Every structure is written in C-alpha cells, then in structure tokens.
Amino acid sequence: MTSDDRGAEPIHVLIGPLPQVGADLRELITKYHESHAYQIAEVYAFRNQSDEAFVWLDRAHAQRDGGLIETKVDPLLKNLERDPRYTAFLNKIHLPTICRPYNTGPECVIDRIKTSSACSSGEGH
C-alpha cells in the first residue's frame, strides 16, 4: 500500500456486501497484518468487535504504527470509547484521556467532578 491509498482497504471492507465483508477482512489481515494493524483495528472497532479491535490496537502499538496518533479523533474507533480498555490503551500510548460529554465511565465522572470543582473555585482559568 502506498501512503495515498493507506486507508482505502479498510473502508472497502466496511462498506462491501455483507457476505463479502468477512472474506475481505480475512484478506486484509493476510496481506497487511505486519504493517497495518491499526487499520485492521479500525475495521473491528467499526463492526463493534471490541475484543478483536483491542488485540489489533496492541499489535499496532508493538509495530509502532503511525496510525496510532489518530486514536483519539478516529471516528472508526468511536465504538470503543465507552470500554474501560480504551482509556487504558490511551494511557499506554501516552495520549491524554479527556472524556467526551456522553462518556459515563467512572473515570469520566471523576474527571468531570474535578474539572467542575476547579472551574467553580476559579482554578484553571
């Protein structure tokens, strides 16, 4: 894959006809498992297959995949955000774990309490 078509394969796997999606994903994994683990994780995350997505995110981390820089803003990973493993993964790759408004995990509730306390006391402004 060249840098110009880096994301083309995963998108095709996501939008193909359902019977073909599984075969396309297997082919994607066969071809790119050593170099594009992040894109494989995107496909699994989009398909709500969290366990597989986190396995591939860990592989992407081990491969030092450049796609990891997009983890916090990648819409294909949105399905993972409510999973506690997502916050743990962000910590592992040294990205801040700022919670989005709809996130209700315990760490986010604590963040909101700390933030609102700091704001109401005049701190952090």
| pLDDT > 90 fraction of the chain, expressed in percent and rounded | 46
Q: Which residues of the chain have pLDDT under 70?
A: 1-21, 98-125
Question: Which pLDDT value is given to residue 27?
Answer: 86
d(CA 22, CA 63): 24
Which uninterrupted H or E stretch holds 62? helix 50-63
Question: Which pLDDT value is given to residue 5?
Answer: 46
- Three-state SS string over 68-87 comes to HHHCCCCHHHHHHCCCHHHH
DSSP 5: G
Question: Which pLDDT value is given to residue 51?
Answer: 98
Question: Which pLDDT value is given to residue 99?
Answer: 56
**Amino acid, res. 17:** P
| CB-based contact 32:60 (threshold 8 Å) | no
d(CA 26, CA 43): 11
| CB-based contact 114:99 (threshold 8 Å) | no
Question: Which pLDDT value is given to residue 23?
Answer: 78
Q: How many CA atoms does the CB half-sphere of 69 hold within 13 Å?
A: 3
Which uninterrupted H or E stretch holds 51? helix 50-63
Q: What is the pTM of this model?
A: 0.67
